[in-house]
Amino acid sequence: MMNSVWVLMILGGILAAAVNGRIDVVAKSIVSGGEQAINLSLAMLAVLSFWMGIARVAEKAGLLQVLARLLTPFLRPLFPSLWNNQEAMRHVVLNFAANLLGLGNAATPFGLKAMHAMQQANRERETATDGMCTLLVLNTAGLTIIPTSVIALRAAYGSQDPTATVGVTFLAGMVATMVGLIVDFLFRSLRWKGRRGSRCS
């Protein structure tokens, strides 16, 4: 997917430059674009390092476990099919908590463990279970308290208030999560109804 997007971007740019009679800008852009990337990385490095450090302390202080315990009562009703799969449920909650704290590196292993635990109980090996779909909805919506890289980016470009968007980002993330969960719920109920219907007939 990114493959074609990137090739089309470059080819489109070269084509537009040729049509507009500005073919010389292509070579210049390659140099200046690369330069921008280097400067940006250097500027982001400091803020990103700070948050990575804080994330590590949060992990070692056991904040993940505390948050997971607080979240369990809210997440359990979203996964009715996992009532008898405690291991999967535990990893689902840890995955969500790690995402919330911005511990991306910790979130993925927990998420994959949850997927494996659900796959073991899956009768159709190649079809996603209800629990998998809901877990993926939570992950693709990616709700997080501190959007680390955005703060670093804003600081790198000299923002007066790099954290200005933290509040609205969390709210927008909540909206995305809700919409995802509602779509997921509708599809699950449709499928359930479809199955019951076919059994009756």
Partner 1 sequence: MQLVSLLSFWLIPLFVAAVLLTGWLRKVPVFDEFITGSKEGLEVTIRLLPYLVSMLIAIEVLSASGALDALSRLMNPLLSRIGWPAETLPLALLRPMSNSGALAVTADILKRHGPDSFVGLVASTMQGSTDTTLFILTVYFGAVGIKNIRHSLLAGLLADAAAMLASLLLCKYLIG
- Work out which of 73, 77, 84, 161 binds partner 1, going by CB under 8 A: 161
**Token pair of 120, please?**
């073991």
Q: Establish if 137 lies at the interface with partner 1 (CB under 8 A).
A: yes
Torsion sign, CA atoms 141, 151, 172, 174: positive
Q: How far apart are CA 16 and CA 125, in angstroms?
A: 48
DSSP 145: S
Segment near partner 1 (CB under 8 A); pick from 13-21, 75-83, 85-93, 193-201: 13-21
- The footprint of partner 1 on residues 39-98 (CB under 8 A) is 40-41, 44-45, 48-58, 60-63
146 binds partner 1 (CB under 8 A): yes
CA–CA separation, 150 vs 28, rounded Å? 28
Burial per residue of 91-112, b for 16 or more beta-carbon CB atoms within 10 angstroms, e otherwise: bbbbbbbbbbbbbeebbeebbe
126 binds partner 1 (CB under 8 A): yes
Provide the mask over 182-201, with x wherever binding to partner 1 is found by CB under 8 A and - wherever it is not: -xx--x---x----------
| Residue 40 burial class via C-beta count within 10 angstroms: exposed 0-12, middle 13-18, buried 19 and up | middle
Stretch that binds partner 1, among 2-10, 72-80, 85-93, 193-201 (CB under 8 A): 2-10
Exactly one of 65, 80, 116, 192 binds partner 1 (CB under 8 A); that residue is: 116
Using the minimum distance from each CB to partner 1, give the nearer residue, 20 or 84: 20
Q: How far is the CB of 152 from partner 1 (least distance, A)?
A: 9
Cα 51 from chain centroid (whole Å): 17
Q: Which residues have C-beta within 8 Å of that of residue 67, sequence separation ≥ 6? A: 97, 100, 101
Pick the piece of the chain touching partner 1 (CB under 8 A) from 9-17, 68-76, 86-94, 193-201: 9-17
Given 73, 77, 167, 197, the residue binding partner 1 (CB under 8 A): 167
